[in-house]
Amino acid sequence: MKKFELIKLPYEADALEPVISKETIGFHHGKHLQAYVNNLNAAIEGTAFEEMPLEEIVKSSEGGVFNNAGQILNHNHYFLQFRAPKADNRPTGEIAVMIDMQFGSFEAFKEAFVKKGATLFGSGWVWLSVDKDGKLVITQEANANNPVLHGLKPLLTFDVWEHAYYLDYQNRRPDHLSALWQIVDWDFVNGCL
């Protein structure tokens, strides 16, 4: 029987400091994501979902199976897209060209993305994706939703569930979102195109 496993982080737990603390990584990856993995494995035991890839489960399930599978898909992308902070961390390669063409500048894109994240009511995610015509789109996804549900290809995401930032930023969600640009791994984002 197949079991989903907690992804291994491609960096040390303190590597993203001071943007995201070691303590937050410990809870977010080690407790929250681990719980989603454990819950999904328990929920799909003995069902047809056991043999499905994660994305297919997300597209074809509902209720508890969907919530846990969606959160694993979301968090796997989230944790893999970061690297240690860099002072002037800007997009590179193809994604840099696409952002400039569509949003005018990286600064204008960041403002639009952070605004979508800051104004998402409750728990969820803000995503940058590319649509079937190659156009970039920013979407707000509530709770465990993921852009693949609307036929989009996901590129970058900021988690706006309070567990992602409350230890480090308390209620200051916009400050947290603005700080995350320092740790985005644009090579990873380009690899998603």
Under the criterion CB under 5 A, does residue 185 sit at the interface with Mn ion? no
Least distance in Å: CB of 159 to Mn ion?
4
Asked if the peptide bond before residue 174 counts as cis, ω within 30 degrees of 0, the response is no
Q: Which residues contact 176 (CB under 8 A, 6 or more apart)?
A: 164, 165, 168, 169
The residue among 33 and 99 lying less far from Mn ion, judged by its C-beta, is 33
The residue among 85 and 124 lying less far from Mn ion, judged by its C-beta, is 124
Least distance in Å: CB of 7 to Mn ion?
13
Among 125, 161, 165, 181, binds Mn ion (CB under 5 A): 161
The residue among 91 and 147 lying less far from Mn ion, judged by its C-beta, is 147
The residue among 159 and 185 lying less far from Mn ion, judged by its C-beta, is 159
**x-marked contacts with Mn ion along 69-108 as a string, rule CB under 5 A:** ----------------------------------------
Kindly write down the DSSP assignment for every residue of 120-152, as one continuous string.
--SSEEEEEEE-TTS-EEEEEEETT--GGGGT-
Tokens of 56: 């297919």
Surface-to-core class of residue 80, CB atoms within 10 Å of its CB (0-12 exposed, 13-18 middle, 19+ buried): middle
Under the criterion CB under 5 A, does residue 159 sit at the interface with Mn ion? yes
**x-marked contacts with Mn ion along 16-45 as a string, rule CB under 5 A:** ------------------------------
Q: Which residues contact 56 (CB under 8 A, 6 or more apart)?
A: none
